[in-house]
């Protein structure tokens, strides 16, 4: 799939604000690919497509989990978790995007996981730090990336903040997120 087609698909599906977020993630990912020597094309494509199913109805996402034979454990989670795996499977099955790095970057962009590939790491971080993000502590994460040039430390901090946020909200934590936190804690 060409970038222009990906942008058109996303623009037609997502609200304008989320579409613009996707473009900012793609741009941030290209910048990080330059810094960390990732693949700019893979990062741009994954950045554009990562939130494609962000606003789909939960029952539709459940149907797609079944249709694409994704792990049934996903059925216990909300769209916050589901939209990544469903989008990865959709683009692989319906648009023949068979690049495993794009698949993994989209699949795990919200949860992270242990031993992420470089481009996967870039999308995970880019989604968190794109220029319009204003959550508490985002500037510290940006410093880890742009000043310290330490992507693994940034992944650990993002994972830690995510887990703390979920625990504070009494929410279930997806196992890959815990694995990500533990793995990158050992890397720092």
For 127-176, how does the pLDDT look when each residue is reduced to its tens digit (9 = 90+)? 999 999 999 999 999 999 999 999 999 999 999 999 999 999 999 999 99
Name residue, tokens 């508490």.
Answer: 136
Would residue 38 be called left, alpha or beta, if left means φ above 0 and alpha means ψ between -120 and 50 degrees? beta
Name residue, tokens 């989670």.
Answer: 77
pLDDT band at 1 (very low <50, low <70, confident <90, very high): confident
pLDDT band at 7 (very low <50, low <70, confident <90, very high): very high
Domain boundaries defined on the chain: 3-135
DSSP letter assigned to residue 130:
S
Which contacts qualify for 1-4: CB closer than 8 Å, 24 or more apart? 1/45, 1/91, 1/95, 1/96, 1/97, 3/44, 3/45, 3/48
- C-alpha to C-alpha distance for 109 and 121, rounded to whole angstroms: 8
Q: What was the pLDDT predicted at 120?
A: 98
- C-alpha to C-alpha distance for 30 and 126, rounded to whole angstroms: 9
Residues 12-40 pLDDT 10s: 999 999 999 999 999 999 999 999 999 99
pLDDT band at 180 (very low <50, low <70, confident <90, very high): very high
Residues 70-129 pLDDT 10s: 999 999 999 999 999 999 999 999 999 999 999 999 999 999 999 999 999 999 999 999
Please name the residues in contact with 143: beta carbons below 8 A apart, sequence gap of 6 or more. Answer: none
CATH architecture of 3-135: Orthogonal Bundle (1.10)
């Amino acid at each position: 799939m060409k970038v222009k087609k990906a942008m058109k698909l996303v623009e037609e599906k997502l609200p304008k604000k989320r579409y613009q977020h996707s473009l900012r993630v793609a741009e941030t990912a290209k910048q990080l690919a330059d810094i960390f020597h990732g693949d700019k094309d893979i990062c741009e494509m994954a950045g554009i497509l990562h939130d494609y199913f962000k606003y789909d109805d939960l029952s539709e996402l459940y149907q797609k989990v079944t249709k694409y034979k994704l792990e049934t454990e996903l059925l216990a989670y909300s769209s916050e978790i589901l939209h990544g795996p469903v989008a990865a499977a959709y683009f692989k099955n319906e648009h023949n995007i068979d690049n495993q790095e794009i698949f993994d970057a989209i699949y795990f962009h919200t949860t992270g996981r242990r031993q992420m590939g470089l481009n996967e790491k870039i999308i995970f971080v880019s989604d968190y730090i794109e220029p319009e993000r204003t959550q508490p502590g985002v500037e510290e994460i940006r410093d880890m990336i742009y000043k310290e040039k330490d992507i693994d430390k940034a992944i650990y901090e993002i994972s830690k903040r995510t887990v703390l946020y979920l625990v504070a909200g009494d929410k279930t934590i997806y196992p890959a997120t815990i694995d990500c936190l533990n793995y990158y804690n050992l890397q720092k």
